[in-house]
Structure 1
Amino acid sequence: MTEAPATETLVITRIFNAPRELVYRAFIDPDQLAQWFGPVGFSVPRETVSVDARVGGHQRFVMVNDADPSFSSPVDATFTEVVENELLVGHEEVHGVPGFPDGARLEMRIEFHDEGDDKTRLVLCQGPYSAEVEAGAREGWGSSFGKLDVLLAR
């Protein structure tokens, strides 16, 4: 079976009921990232999280399947653009992840927009994906953002 070409870009726009600074901080603060990242059924052990939010810096962590801790997914991204409270742009070389050729480059852009009334519009663009993998990534981000909603409500 051959892999479908990776041509799809995932785009998600979501409104969070929290000020832009708090939403941005949830992406770069290791303690917060460990609390919300990963779809339901996965966790991110705090000791695996390292974030250096600057151009040339990184975001590293490991998502672990709660039901089968032997199944994990490491993330090791490099930031190429960082504008505090406004923008995170980076890329990652993917290794050993089903649906991706080894060494594929995954790009991500996350924009944080002030919507007034202490609300933030987040726009996430990530890819390229095959259509099948894009659907799973969309579902995973949606589940993760549900966990982020809970964290931001505290």
Structure 2
Amino acid sequence: MSDRDLVITRIFDAPRHLVYRAFTDPDQLAQWFGPVGWSVPRDGVDVDNRPGGHQRFTMVNDADPAQTALVDAHFTELVENELIVAEEDMTAMTDFPGDLLHLRVEFHDEPGGRTRMILTHGPYPGDWATESSAGWNSSFTKLDRVLALVGGDR
């Protein structure tokens, strides 16, 4: 971790296995990933959940579908219901001044069947971490709704 990494800690009102699954299941990713105002078409989600595998999809701006953002992450470590570690290829994002972002998502039990998630993402140049933080937190409001819907699987 560097001083240019974004770190977000959030408590979700769902057990750890459901939160982990929301990050790894293609159907659920399509429902919540991307900030409010962006969508992920399910037919474009490609996930291979194993070390050496990947997660690829495109976020589409709802107001201007010509505006898109590719997510192309390669898993370096996966521990079911505990940890996701990936490297995100940023070369397709021509305005991003780097080639690679590191992602680490930890899942911890909290009292009452809840989950504490710690997301570390970076390194970010300049003020990019502020924008990314807003995007992640907006996405997590959508994730809260998805988890409420799948909560019957507890």
Alignment TM-score > 0.5, same fold: yes
1:148 to 140, 143, 152: 143
Shift in Å, 1:53: 1.1
- The structure with the largest strand share of the pair is 1
The equivalent residue for 1:14 is 10
Shift in Å, 1:132: 1.0
Question: Once the two structures are aligned, what percentage of the paired residues are identical?
Answer: 59
Q: Gaps (5+ residues) in structure 1?
A: 1-5
Task: Render the CA deviation track for 1:20-75: whole Å, top value 9, x for unaligned.
Answer: 00000000000000000000010000011011111000011100000100110011
Taking the aligned partners of 1:105 and 1:72, their CA distance within structure 2 comes to 18
Shift in Å, 1:133: 0.6
Taking the aligned partners of 1:50 and 1:153, their CA distance within structure 2 comes to 24
The equivalent residue for 1:133 is 128
Taking the aligned partners of 2:56 and 2:75, their CA distance within structure 1 comes to 11
The equivalent residue for 1:92 is 88
CA RMSD of aligned residues (A): 1.4
Query: Is 1:39 equivalent to 2:62 in the alignment?
Result: no
Q: Gaps (5+ residues) in structure 2?
A: 150-154
Task: Render the CA deviation track for 1:72-99: whole Å, top value 9, x for unaligned.
Answer: 0011110000000000001022124254
Q: Is the 8 A contact 1:99 1:133 kept in 2?
A: no
The equivalent residue for 1:3 is none
**TM-score, structure 2 length as denominator?**
0.92
